[in-house]
Structure 1
């Protein structure tokens, strides 16, 4: 056999078994595809830094483009910088007649949270369709020449190379290596932060940890409407414990009030539903659909509950951002506890379990005779929006990870900061929303009835500042990482901070700090705050009242 033929055989037979690693380098490496990742990348580019966005997601924007169109914005006056630019661009889109395909603009109604959806005076639009938000993020990418590597998943086991207390490089499961001077973890899960050995917390701290009131177990505390008001039996045969529990109820004791635990507030999908017959897809029946798992909801209806459509919030073009509402709704309570630390495979299972539960719920509401006839008739007007999430069966591509890991960094924000009892040092942005936690568990009361626990909604008196220390790890753990999503905060404080506008604000501020750290050859903990403050104010960030 001649040498050419031997070489050809080698290429054909053996080369497929070899993996060729690809290496990339930039001043700032951003891991994540959330809204915070995009604003961070734009700010880095504005400060003349090379930047790479390494995104495990194909679609950019996280929840902001994943169904959360009726956004929890709180006090709009404290939303500045690129976050405000995002909402301004949405305004410009909806000023065009072509934006109103399925509904006349004058029929929209302009309902928003606290202010009109379309704020003409400030040229902002606060309520929007998912695909429009994604287009804005993609425009940010295109206009700024951002390099985005999509569907690149961090090797969480061995993919973070540390040297001298710094992240030197990260490697993804595809074999790509990314070397940078400063790294930003902009994921909802905090995977890079955790893989770098940075301290974090999962679940609720005991109230005693930070001398808080609204952290920890909160049995008997009902601050929204998401609890069982009537005595509804937890058992298959009402009143008969020997018959066993109904589905979706935990047999475990809820715990002592104020105690910490590893439970997480519930996740769900924020569905974009359509009322336009020409843009509506009937609710699919999941292959594993079982109406018995929704018996609790049937009993809620039988007890006289009538609030089914209270959180079918209108977004443009006869669509909704449909959220959890009531004692039994789209939140899949108690089914996400292992998500933050889970493997990618297990996370996919959890996401699929949530999808099946929620699709089954919508099918149940549409078809089951246990649902009041008037509710079924109204549900018949809805379906999945045909022009949203078109590559995912019209189902949101992002589950609502309301809370996962939270860093324990240089400064821990607590409810005292949010509620105005403390002066926050070194502000880099502001929040204003309530301490907002969805339910964390569904349990049996001593009387054999079902109840939810974990729902909190305490409003601050005024907007509050967020400290730079919440974005950075402890010096001894890592000196070139910033974390604008899984920020250093208690569970109860994170309930307010965790809003999408705030993530965009903090993403931009994190990138400004990263750029200054590079310019000065300093650790992120040593960035000159006054210099950072000056830049943020120039970028029209709002830092304090």
Structure 2
């Protein structure tokens, strides 16, 4: 009895001594993924499918980050760059809507799809927990301490251990707390021999000349209108700590049965939108599209993004976000949410707005079936850029433009080098925005594995596929949600290799990593689909003279030929079939203004030729993409290089395109 009492007293003393300190919860995993963004979900899913234990930690209550948080009108650049499970995600979205693949979707459909991945792999997800501290030893993260996001404090602390950690947060908090060096803001152009970094006063999303910045027009003593900074304009290309602006991608609906009226926020201040009035007075707006980028999603919904000089971007109000504590970030996000809701209310209700614009705005409202636990408004602010790691390799403008091409690529990007504005200032007595850059015209390019790993002397068991190592302007091209998914899958496979080989992340065999990503792209050991692109010289035979285009195509280029003339021109695509069986065959069609209304295609299955005529009306190109896959049917194909698909100019009455052919095994 005395022994029992003694043990009870000992337990009480231990509890009292630990009260208010980190609770030693013995939880250990092969891999811990921090941040259930789109990339975080794919990283955790891949890890589990590769046979390792994994914990996915999410500070909020949702998965999918911005992909499920309103960005349903996907920024792509070039579909060729999106591979593996990321591409499979858009195929699953397509299945939901009755298509082969789809890149435009409702927020809740995206979240359901992400949850489908996690549930199928039985991934352990810890919601409402955020990072407190990181413990390192000899360059390795040994453990992290997390707390309950809803009830923060030492009493809610948990300690989590892992062999490898993957930071998939938009903020790079795990990376930063692990002592890994990073960039914020914009580098000067001369730092990496760039031309689009640093201060950029340009003409896109810009106020026209003549818009007065002062509360009383012409009177500097009256003070600046809300949202205008008194800062002076620095020399073009100068580096600084300013952050490109954030916003919300807004999901609204005009379906009366699903619509909730847009009401006035509690902290509404109409003076915050004075510049919009001055802008449309200078440049009258025909419709809402003059200052809101309204892209349509299925079922009468929208993905609204910034458009023009005064829109949903809350310029210059996020500088403290990247390195801010949780309270600071919450305050910034709340300010952005209030600004956005106030803007929508202002457009629809302020009597100074033109009547036709008010009437158009009042047709829209918040959808009842989206974000039902967050007042029908997205919980995910668009953090376009926060911290960027200073890793083993820094991706720069030269990589985007293929002036430098890395050999250790573990994913591709293809989007325009894109930066939203960073500040709103006075230039020559007029209001101007500064920081917007949109420079493209290049094809898909590889992203270095070394850009997702820290320097070896800083941390040896951390991968950072979201806040990766890139300059501000290169990150502007890479920072697309599908690319984050691709890089996060690669990070997960690298983590598994590091564990199996007992290596640091810097010592991972890149060629083996690349091979796994190629031969097991879905991490489920299914037969990979086969892509034959027109640029694959060993698999393409050309008859006649074809021109080459580099825009609106799948991959680096596409072949084009004029309509039928005296000679038939053709391009034959020969797949190498490693496993005989049934394959669904697709042809990719870029949307051209002068394209033929009908294309002749021959499919040869090794025994029989089948001629098809694809009509232009059969090609349903989604609004934000340059082309679409068209189903050519299902065929039993022999192993080897015995079958082909031939595109010809026979029957053509316009430009014929030969771009890419896809062979999808039915057992996939």
The alignment's TM-score, normalised by the length of structure 2, stands at 0.74
- Residue 574 of structure 2 corresponds to which residue in structure 1? none
User: Whole-Å Cα distance in 2 between the matches of residues 327 and 353 of structure 1?
Assistant: 19
- Residue 331 of structure 1 corresponds to which residue in structure 2? 313
- Residue 370 of structure 2 corresponds to which residue in structure 1? 388
- Residue 100 of structure 1 corresponds to which residue in structure 2? none
Q: 1:532 to 1:17 in 2, by over 3 A?
A: closer
- Residue 515 of structure 2 corresponds to which residue in structure 1? 534
1:469-488 to 2 correspondences below 5 Å: 469-488=450-469
- Residue 92 of structure 1 corresponds to which residue in structure 2? 95
SS of the equivalent of 1:322 reads: strand
Shift of 1:303: 1.0
Q: Give 5+ residue unaligned stretches, structure 2.
A: 148-155, 523-530, 532-554, 557-668
- Residue 182 of structure 1 corresponds to which residue in structure 2? 164
- Residue 103 of structure 2 corresponds to which residue in structure 1? 126
Verify: 1:153 aligned to 2:138, yes or no. no
Contact 2:245–2:315 at 8 Å: present in 1 too?
yes
- Residue 281 of structure 1 corresponds to which residue in structure 2? 260
The alignment's TM-score, normalised by the length of structure 1, stands at 0.90
Deviations 1:234-288 (A, max 9, x none): 0011111111111110011131111000001100011100000111111121111
- Residue 72 of structure 1 corresponds to which residue in structure 2? 75
User: Whole-Å Cα distance in 2 between the matches of residues 202 and 412 of structure 1?
Assistant: 14
Which of 210, 227, 233 is the equivalent residue of 1:231?
A: 210
- Residue 27 of structure 1 corresponds to which residue in structure 2? 30
Q: 1:482 to 1:284 in 2, by over 3 A?
A: same
Q: 1:437 to 1:242 in 2, by over 3 A?
A: same
Deviations 1:357-396 (A, max 9, x none): 1111111001001111111010010011111101000110
Deviations 1:6-41 (A, max 9, x none): 98xx79x97995664423111111111101111111
User: Whole-Å Cα distance in 1 between the matches of residues 346 and 95 of structure 2?
Assistant: 39
User: Whole-Å Cα distance in 2 between the matches of residues 33 and 15 of structure 1?
Assistant: 34
- Residue 111 of structure 1 corresponds to which residue in structure 2? none
Q: Which has the higher strand share?
A: 2
Verify: 1:440 aligned to 2:422, yes or no. yes
CA RMSD of aligned residues (A): 2.2
Which of 297, 304, 329 is the equivalent residue of 1:315?
A: 297
Q: Give 5+ residue unaligned stretches, structure 1.
A: 96-119
Contact 1:168–1:181 at 8 Å: present in 2 too?
yes
Contact 2:405–2:445 at 8 Å: present in 1 too?
no
Count residues in correspondence. Answer: 509
User: Whole-Å Cα distance in 2 between the matches of residues 150 and 248 of structure 1?
Assistant: 35
User: Whole-Å Cα distance in 2 between the matches of residues 333 and 305 of structure 1?
Assistant: 22
SS of the equivalent of 2:252 reads: strand
SS of the equivalent of 2:229 reads: coil
Verify: 1:516 aligned to 2:502, yes or no. no
User: Whole-Å Cα distance in 1 between the matches of residues 135 and 270 of structure 2?
Assistant: 49
User: Whole-Å Cα distance in 2 between the matches of residues 452 and 58 of structure 1?
Assistant: 35
Which of 208, 218, 232 is the equivalent residue of 2:200?
A: 218
User: Whole-Å Cα distance in 2 between the matches of residues 362 and 81 of structure 1?
Assistant: 38
User: Whole-Å Cα distance in 2 between the matches of residues 372 and 230 of structure 1?
Assistant: 22
Contact 1:308–1:325 at 8 Å: present in 2 too?
no
- Residue 41 of structure 1 corresponds to which residue in structure 2? 44
- For CA contacts below 8 A with separation 6 or more, give which structure has more relative contact order: 1
- Residue 142 of structure 2 corresponds to which residue in structure 1? 168
User: Whole-Å Cα distance in 1 between the matches of residues 20 and 231 of structure 2?
Assistant: 50
Deviations 1:337-375 (A, max 9, x none): 010100101100000011111111111001001111111
Verify: 1:138 aligned to 2:115, yes or no. yes
- Residue 284 of structure 2 corresponds to which residue in structure 1? 305
User: Whole-Å Cα distance in 2 between the matches of residues 391 and 361 of structure 1?
Assistant: 22
User: Whole-Å Cα distance in 2 between the matches of residues 15 and 186 of structure 1?
Assistant: 35
Shift of 1:230: 3.4
SS of the equivalent of 1:525 reads: helix
Q: 1:460 to 1:512 in 2, by over 3 A?
A: farther
Which of 388, 391, 396 is the equivalent residue of 1:409?
A: 391
Contact 1:43–1:508 at 8 Å: present in 2 too?
yes
Deviations 1:86-142 (A, max 9, x none): 1011111112xxxxxxxxxxxxxxxxxxxxxxxx5xx11100000000001111111
SS of the equivalent of 1:485 reads: coil
Contact 1:433–1:460 at 8 Å: present in 2 too?
no
Shift of 1:178: 1.1
Contact 1:67–1:270 at 8 Å: present in 2 too?
yes
